Each structure stands twice: as structure tokens, then as C-alpha cells.
Amino acid sequence: MKHIDIKELFQHSENYVNSDQTVCGWVRTWRDSKSIAFIELNDGTCLKNLQLVFDKEEMPAESFKDALVVGAALQVVGKFIPSERNGFEMAVKNVTVLGGCPQDYPLQKKHHTLEFLRTIPHLRPRTKYFEAVFAVRDKLSFAIHKYFQEHGYKYVHTPIITGSDCEGAGEMFRATTMPWKTDFKTEQEYYAEDFFGKRANLTVSGQLEGEMAATGLGKIYTFGPTFRAEHSNTTRHAAEFWQIEPEVCFADIHDIIEIAEDFIKYIIKYVVDNCPEELEYFNERIEKGLLDKLNAVISSDFAKITYTEAVKVLKKSGKEFKFPVEWGSDLQTEHERYLTEEYYKKPVFVVDYPADIKAFYMKQNPDGKTVAATDLLVPGIGEIIGCSEREADTVKLEKAMKVRNMPLESYREYLDLRKYGTVPHSGFGLGLERILMYITGVQNIRDTLLFPRTVGSL
């Protein structure tokens, strides 16, 4: 269908001003008066609507009355002209209704609550809020690829169906073709009949396969969906989320922390530079001071503190936490938020966590108690990155696995990496939705995904 994007009209208006153009889009709002009618048309290419002006002296009201309908899809021919109020608008010559829209269209009002919009995920991309969220998600994803491509990383595609459990937490979805009815006596018997002849899961992380790719390709990154069956019904947990996982050979924990900080600043700057309209909107509507916050993040150093120090800070804070802090216990969201929101007021890397609360693959520090791991915490959210140097010593790695009762034979290939030309290497995982929340100020992870999957809701 021959037409021009509304974004293109506004962006290169000098090429189109005072010429006839064809645009397509949906009616956001309309107004009708005695001699003139207006429609705000949006085609999804930019946040800004194109104002259509119908002069009743030129066009009989009868010829466009079916277009004055919220939600209707239109094709419009008209002259693109300067306008005092809107910069530019279109003096309509002809309008075709491509798709009508009956009165039960749920988006009749200008403002709807996010809770209500969550009940109509198939229609919410037609609102300004979600148009802005998905525009930023798009540019953010591009920036992530751009960073790694410019820095010599190879994009690899790790499997989604896997036989292993990367994080060792066991919170995995099972992938199966088995019928509902079964009369097997043991789990082994049951899985033997299944598609792969063994238990298969949706991956929680591409890291283990990422390490295998990196120990041949040097520097890699993954960018794909990962799945967690944890029953965390919070504003920051989704059962299906997108994760970015770089893995870098010949890099220790200090190197990877430097990379992570450089990467986060780069992708935020890219969004600030390329989504000014969207961020302006979020700055006004969602989080006052958002732009100042992002600019401060780009231009200042992130804080760094050891877990052990962080526990001391939390104990001395005088705060009444719901979960008391003790050395050896995992930091809860309330602790993370105190450190990053009140103590540092900026992103902070917490390093050297107790080995017992972290995954088996992390490099064991000489103190015998902690591992070379870090979480990056940011104000308003808490953890956005989980990061570590990997244990490169077979003996130490096997010991950590045995302590966790892991079946070594299932991790033979992973252990081979330490047997054949082992190297210091490190990596991290960034949750795309978490950084998107941080950049936009969106408060609920359900509003960053096209079709969010969370516990009890599909």
C-alpha cells in the first residue's frame, strides 16, 4: 500500500511540506465543529500524532463521517502543511476507512490504568505508553548488539531446550511431548519414553554453552529468551525474560566488572541519544528526574563494595529490615535497595559473595569462604546483572559440584573445558526487562514485555 511513515514526514518535513502525501494509521482522538473537524492519527512509527484537518467547505461532512471514530484504521491523502500549533498538519483531500471500529473498542478514553491495560495485551501497543516502551526496548536491543559487535564479540545462539541446569536452583520448566496419562513406576522410566529419552528443560541461562563457545571463539555473547519457574510474584520477576550473556576468555573478575560498567553506560547513552521523544515522555509522565538520573549514570563511576562491607553498612544503617542481615545470608531486595538508593544513590557492584549462596561455577577466592562474583544493583530495582569469574581449576570445580550434590557425569563437557587448555574467563547476565525498567522508569516488569508470562498468568 503506497504511503509514507508519519515519522518520516516529521523528520524530513522540508522534503514534503506543501506537497500531497498519503498516510495510514489509527484514530487516537477526534473533534468535530461546525466548519471544521480534526483527527489525531498515529501509525506507530513515532510517538507524535499527525493532525488531520477536514475543512467542511472543501469536503462534505458526509464523506468523512465514518472516519471520526476512535480506533478506526484510515488511509488518508492530503496536503502536508505548516501549522502554528502543531508544527505541521495535513489538510485532508480524501479519506478511506480501511477498518471500522465499533463502540466496544476498549481504548475509548485518553488515559487508562496500567492494570486495565494488562488485561488487553493484544491492544495496548496502540497506546502512547506502550508505543514508547516498545520503541525504547527496540533501540536498547539494537544498542546491545552494536556494543558487542563494535568490541569484537561473536553473537552465538545457545539452545533453549537443554538437559542441564545452569544455575543449579532447579526452578525449571520441563519440555515434554508425553501425554497426560502415565503409569510409569520411576522418573527414569517416564523420561525414557519422552522425546529426548531423558528429562529436558527450558534453559534458565545460556552460560554453560556460552562458555563452550567462548573457549574457542574468545569473546561471545548470547541474547535470547530464558525461563525461570520460580514462584516469585513480584514486579521484577517474569517466567520468560530476555537475557544478555557475554563470556570473555582471558578476563578476570576486575576485567569483567570494567566491561560491564562500560557496556551499561554505552547502551544507556545510545538510548538517551536515540529516543529523546520517548524519554521526555517518561520523564514527564512516569519518573520525574529520569533524564538527569540517566545522564548522571553515564558520566560518573559506579560504586563498588564487598559483600562483607555491605553487611556491615546494612547493620549500621539503623534501618528496620523485614529480613535481618547476617553474614552468609543472601541480600534481599530491601537490602539491595538501601545500598543503591540510600547509601550510594547510584549503581553499585557488590563483590565477593559467600560461596554457599552462589552458583557452583564461580571462582573460589583464596579466603576459602567467598567467590569472585558480583551483582550490579541499581536504584529503584535492585539486581540487574549477575556476574562472575568462572572457576578454571577442575579439582576446585568438581569439589564445589560435589558439595551441591550435582551429578558430575551430566557436566562432563563442561568439566572438559577445564581439562583441555583451561583459561581464566568471566561473564555476566543482564536481564533486558530489568535494564529497560531502569531506563524508562516503568515500575512493573509486566509492562516491559509484549505478552508477559508470570506465575499464574499466561
Subset of 204-223 contacting ligand 4AD (CB under 6 A): 205, 207
* Choice between 71 and 386, CB closer to ligand 4AD: 386
Nearest-CB residue to ligand 4AD? 386
Judged by beta carbon distances under 5 to 8 A according to partner kind, the member of ligand 4AD, Mg ion, none in contact with residue 382 is none
44: phi then psi, degrees, rounded to nearest 5: 85, -5
Residues 6+ apart with CB under 8 A from 360: 168, 397, 400, 401, 404, 406
* Choice between 255 and 383, CB closer to ligand 4AD: 383
Say how many residues make up the chain. Answer: 458
Q: Is 433 in the site for ligand 4AD (CB under 6 A)?
A: yes
User: Applying CB under 6 A, what is the total number of residues that bind ligand 4AD?
Assistant: 23
- Of 379, 427, 441, 452, the one binding ligand 4AD by CB under 6 A: 427
Residue 285 exposed, middle or buried by CB count within 10 Å (0-12, 13-18, 19+): middle
* Choice between 433 and 447, CB closer to ligand 4AD: 433
A 10 A CB-CB count for 299 gives: 9
Inter-residue contact 155 to 220 (CB < 8 Å): yes
Q: Is 453 in the site for ligand 4AD (CB under 6 A)?
A: no
Q: Which three cell numbers stand for residue 360?
A: 557452583
Subset of 36-75 contacting ligand 4AD (CB under 6 A): none
A 10 A CB-CB count for 9 gives: 22
Stretch that binds Mg ion, among 276-284, 356-364, 379-387, 445-453 (CB under 5 A): 379-387
Q: Is 385 in the site for ligand 4AD (CB under 6 A)?
A: yes
Q: Is 428 in the site for ligand 4AD (CB under 6 A)?
A: yes
Q: Is 386 in the site for Mg ion (CB under 5 A)?
A: yes
Q: How far is the CB of 154 from ligand 4AD (least distance, A)?
A: 16
Q: Which three cell numbers stand for residue 56?
A: 467542511
Q: How far is the CB of 455 from ligand 4AD (least distance, A)?
A: 10
Distance CA 249, CA 253 (A): 11
**429 pairs with which residues across the strands?**
386
Q: Which three cell numbers stand for residue 258?
A: 570494567
Q: Is 382 in the site for ligand 4AD (CB under 6 A)?
A: no
* Choice between 214 and 275, CB closer to ligand 4AD: 214
Distance CA 397, CA 415 (A): 8
Give the pairing type, strands 73-83 and 87-99: antiparallel
Q: Is 246 in the site for Mg ion (CB under 5 A)?
A: no
C-alpha closest to that of 304 among 339, 328, 334: 339
Q: How far is the CB of 384 from Mg ion (least distance, A)?
A: 10
Q: Tell me the three state secondary structure of residue 241.
A: strand
91: phi then psi, degrees, rounded to nearest 5: -85, 110
Judged by beta carbon distances under 5 to 8 A according to partner kind, the member of Mg ion, ligand 4AD, none in contact with residue 454 is none
* Choice between 92 and 351, CB closer to ligand 4AD: 351
| Distance separating the N- and C-terminal Cα atoms of the chain | 35
* Choice between 68 and 160, CB closer to ligand 4AD: 160
257: phi then psi, degrees, rounded to nearest 5: -65, -40
Q: Which three cell numbers stand for residue 184?
A: 510409569
Subset of 219-258 contacting ligand 4AD (CB under 6 A): 228, 237-238, 241, 243, 245
Q: Is 167 in the site for ligand 4AD (CB under 6 A)?
A: yes
Stretch that binds ligand 4AD, among 40-48, 138-146, 251-259, 380-388 (CB under 6 A): 380-388
Distance CA 375, CA 86 (A): 46
Pattern of binders to ligand 4AD over 117-156, x per CB under 6 A?
----------------------------------------
Q: Is 427 in the site for Mg ion (CB under 5 A)?
A: no
Which residue matches cell numbers 502525501?
A: 21
Distance CA 206, CA 164 (A): 10
Q: How far is the CB of 398 from ligand 4AD (least distance, A)?
A: 19
Q: How many helices (H) and strands (E) does the chain have?
A: 13, 15
Footprint of ligand 4AD on this chain (CB under 6 A)? 166-167, 205, 207, 228, 237-238, 241, 243, 245, 383-388, 427-431, 433-434
Footprint of Mg ion on this chain (CB under 5 A)? 386
